[in-house]
């Protein structure tokens, strides 16, 4: 198991349309700010187990943990620029992706 360095969230793609999803307290969310945050390795493992369950249930694909930092309000923001891109949409088309639907994620 990888060394746990940062809080983590579980990221996936929706099977039917490929949209990026984040595992929340009661299911998959389209907004990463509502994602459930693992603060320790055992919590991250629990998230992964839920992800595997939903892969088997044919709800999501391409599931993985992403490191995040927490804002003052406790909402997670990915640390790596790749996942920062995924929570928004193409940086060259602000009218597309999640940033278009919700007015722009932070």
Partner 1 sequence: MTAVDLRAPQRRNAPTISYRYDEYDAAFVRERVAEFRDQVRRRLSGALTEEEFRPFRLMNGLYLQLHAYMLRVAIPYGTLTARQMRRLADIADRWDKGYGHFTTRQNLQYNWPKLVDTPDILEALADVEMHAIQTSGNCIRNVTADHFAGVAPDEIEDPRPTAEFLRQWSSLHPEFSFLPRKFKIAVTGAAHDRAAIMVHDIGLRIVKSDSGDIGYQVVVGGGLGRSPFIGKVVRDFVPREDLLAFLEAIMRVYNRFGRRDNKYKARVKILVHEKGIDEIRAAVDAEFAAMDRSVFSHDPAEFERIAGFFAPPPYDALPATSASLRAAKLDTPAFANFVDVNVGAHKIPGYAIVTVSLKPIGGVPGDATSEQMRVLADASERFGFGELRVSHEQNIILPHVKQDDLFALWRMLDAAGLATANAGLVSDIISCPGLDYCSLATARSIPIAQAISKRFSDMSRQRRIGKLGVKISGCINACGHHHVGAIGILGLEKKGQESYQITLGGDPTFSASIGEILGPGVTADQVPDVIEHLVDFYLAEREEGEAFIDTWRRLGHARFKDLWRREGEDGADI
Interface residues with partner 1 (CB under 8 A) are 13, 15-20, 55, 57-58, 61-62, 79-82, 85-86, 89-93, 96-97
CB of 64 to partner 1, least distance (A): 11
Q: Which CB atom, from 45 or from 96, has the smaller least distance to partner 1?
A: 96
Q: Which CB atom, from 62 or from 102, has the smaller least distance to partner 1?
A: 62
Q: Which two tokens stand for residue 35?
A: 């994602």
Burial 16-47 (b: 16+ CB within 10 A, else e): eeeebbbbbeeebbeebbbbbbbeeeeebeeb
CA distance 10 to 67: 9
CB of 17 to partner 1, least distance (A): 4
CB of 42 to partner 1, least distance (A): 26
Q: Which CB atom, from 56 or from 73, has the smaller least distance to partner 1?
A: 56
CA distance 55 to 63: 8
């Amino acid at each position: 198991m990888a060394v746990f360095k940062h809080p983590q969230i579980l990221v996936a793609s929706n099977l039917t349309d490929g949209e990026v999803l984040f595992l929340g307290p009661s299911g998959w969310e389209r907004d990463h700010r509502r994602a459930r945050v693992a603060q320790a390795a055992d919590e991250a493992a629990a998230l992964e187990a839920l992800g595997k369950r939903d892969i088997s249930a044919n709800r999501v694909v391409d599931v993985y943990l992403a490191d995040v930092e927490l804002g003052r309000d406790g909402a997670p923001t990915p640390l790596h620029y790749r996942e920062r891109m995924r929570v928004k949409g193409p940086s060259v088309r602000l009218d597309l992706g999640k940033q278009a639907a919700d007015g722009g994620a932070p």
